């Protein structure tokens, strides 16, 4: 018989080691805090905790909640032990809640409780401060540019060949004794910025057709756009002293179906063979269909949209294409309205500020100073 003797010190060290390799040490504790979620619209409470002495983060933490009129705890979520917070977005304002965080273990179970927590809506959202600063900078830049314009100073506006061709296209149609067609596309409605920009250009085109005694057709897929276009064209004809030449039948609704709209406009193009076609607005899959039909009859085409995909089709099938913001700057460019031109120049100044902010943020982040980039990224 072999007798095995171990020193008392070795046994004690083995016992302590067995405790350390278990999921939690003997001194592990949980500290919990619960508070109304800041900068929100209410109905939300944030629960956070700090676990000390935990050597194994593979366990799950259970979050429970109890209302002031409830007697039992109700589990509202489970997260990994490595997490440090949980947002409860299903509470009622002005009601007191208690929260309990539980870390289940074999043997001992850690838990902590936070009581008397209420939620409420905040008037001011501090996370949107960067957006507020940005809006104020835009307003200040616009006011400064308008004041400079009011002082008699003119800013340089880059020539836009597609817009310079508007008068040429209408004049060409007049010389050939043919009509002009203008359509804002199928993809937009009256609320789209591209539609509003298209209607601004339509006013200029209508004034030219009224002055040159040239027919103008405006097919559209939206009844609201049709009504707005009728008013724009009518006012343009009245301003040119050609109210009797306005024909309301030339502004008409086709259909809300995409392919039906494309077929209807193609029918108008092949039937009347306009010498000038303006495809300005929001276009989708019908863009190439309309542009190719106009190209097949030899019409001079000016196109523009905010869709980068459809721009490629317009570039290969049309004579002139308004790219990006050229469409939005068109009304100011054609009318030379100082208010619209001021907004265009303001956008240029804001772009310079944005580029400067990006460069400054990149340099600071490279140097390990991330406060500026984090502040901008709050939203």
Per-domain residue ranges of the chain? 29-117, 126-153+340-376, 161-336
On the question of a common fold for 29-117 and 161-336, the answer reads no
The mean pLDDT value for 177-205 works out to 91
Predicted model pTM: 0.67
In whole angstroms, what is the distance from residue 88 CA to residue 78 CA?
A: 12
Closest by CA to 217, choosing from 278, 303, 153, 308, is: 278
Task: Report yes or no: 182 and 205 within 8 Å, Cβ to Cβ.
Answer: yes
pLDDT digits (tens, 9 = 90+) for 281-325: 999 989 999 999 999 999 999 999 988 889 999 999 999 998 878
Give me the percent of the chain exceeding a pLDDT of 70: 89
Burial of residue 159 (CB within 10 Å: 0-12, 13-18, 19+) is exposed
Closest by CA to 185, choosing from 223, 229, 216, 219, is: 219
Alpha carbon 140 to chain centroid, angstroms: 23
> Is the predicted pLDDT of residue 90 greater than 70, yes or no?
yes
> Is the predicted pLDDT of residue 338 greater than 50, yes or no?
yes
The mean pLDDT value for 237-265 works out to 93
The model's confidence at residue 97, banded by pLDDT at 50, 70 and 90, is: very high
> Is the predicted pLDDT of residue 21 greater than 80, yes or no?
no
> Is the predicted pLDDT of residue 11 greater than 80, yes or no?
no
Q: What does the DSSP assignment read for 62-120?
A: EEEEEETT--S-EEEEEEETT--EEEE----TT--EEEEEEE--SS--EEEEEEEE---
Where are the alpha helices (H) located in the chain, listed in sequence order?
A: 8-20, 129-150, 161-176, 193-212, 223-239, 258-272, 287-296, 308-317, 326-335, 338-366, 371-376
State which fold the 29-117 domain adopts.
Answer: Immunoglobulin-like (2.60.40)
3-state SS assignment for residue 52: strand
Please state, as a whole number, how many other Cβ atoms lie within 10 Å of the Cβ of residue 65. 21
pLDDT digits (tens, 9 = 90+) for 38-55: 888 888 999 998 887 766
pLDDT digits (tens, 9 = 90+) for 194-205: 998 899 899 999
CATH of 161-336, one of 3.30.1490, 2.60.40, 3.30.70, 3.40.50: 3.40.50
Edge-first strand listing for the sheet containing 216-220: 251-253, 216-220, 180-183, 276-280, 300-305, 320-323
């Amino acid at each position: 018989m072999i007798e095995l003797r171990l020193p008392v010190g070795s046994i004690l060290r083995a016992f302590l080691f067995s405790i350390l390799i278990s999921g939690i040490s003997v001194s592990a504790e949980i500290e919990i805090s619960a508070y109304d979620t800041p900068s929100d619209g209410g109905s939300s409470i944030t629960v956070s905790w700090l676990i000390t002495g935990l050597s194994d983060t593979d366990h799950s933490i259970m979050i429970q909640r109890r209302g002031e009129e409830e007697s039992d705890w109700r589990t509202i979520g489970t997260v990994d032990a490595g997490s440090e917070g949980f947002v409860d977005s299903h509470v009622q304002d002005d009601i007191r809640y208690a929260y309990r965080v539980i870390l289940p273990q074999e043997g001992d179970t850690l838990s902590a409780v936070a009581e008397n927590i209420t939620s409420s809506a905040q008037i001011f959202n501090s996370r949107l401060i960067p957006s507020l600063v940005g809006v104020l900078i835009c307003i200040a830049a616009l006011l400064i540019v308008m004041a400079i314009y009011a002082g008699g100073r003119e800013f340089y506006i880059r020539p836009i060949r597609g817009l310079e061709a508007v008068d040429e296209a209408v004049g060409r149609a007049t010389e050939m004794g043919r009509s002009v067609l203008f359509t804002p596309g199928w993809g937009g409605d009256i609320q789209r910025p591209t539609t509003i920009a298209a209607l601004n250009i339509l006013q200029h085109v209508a004034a030219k057709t009224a002055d040159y005694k040239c027919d103008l057709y405006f097919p559209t897929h939206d009844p609201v756009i049709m009504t707005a276009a009728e008013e724009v064209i009518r006012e343009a004809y009245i301003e040119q002293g050609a109210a009797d030449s306005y024909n309301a039948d030339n502004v008409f609704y086709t259909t809300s179906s995409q392919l039906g709209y494309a077929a209807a406009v193609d029918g108008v193009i092949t039937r009347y063979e306009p010498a000038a076609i303006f495809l300005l607005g929001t276009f989708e899959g019908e863009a190439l269909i309309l542009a190719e039909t106009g190209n097949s009859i030899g019409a001079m085409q000016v196109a523009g949209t905010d869709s980068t995909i459809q721009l490629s089709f317009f570039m290969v099938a049309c004579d002139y294409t308004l790219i990006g913001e050229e469409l939005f700057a068109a009304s100011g460019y054609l009318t030379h309205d100082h208010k619209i031109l001021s907004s265009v120049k303001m956008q240029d100044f804001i772009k310079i500020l944005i580029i400067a902010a990006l460069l400054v943020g990149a340099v600071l982040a490279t140097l390990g100073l991330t406060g500026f980039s984090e502040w901008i990224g709050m939203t």
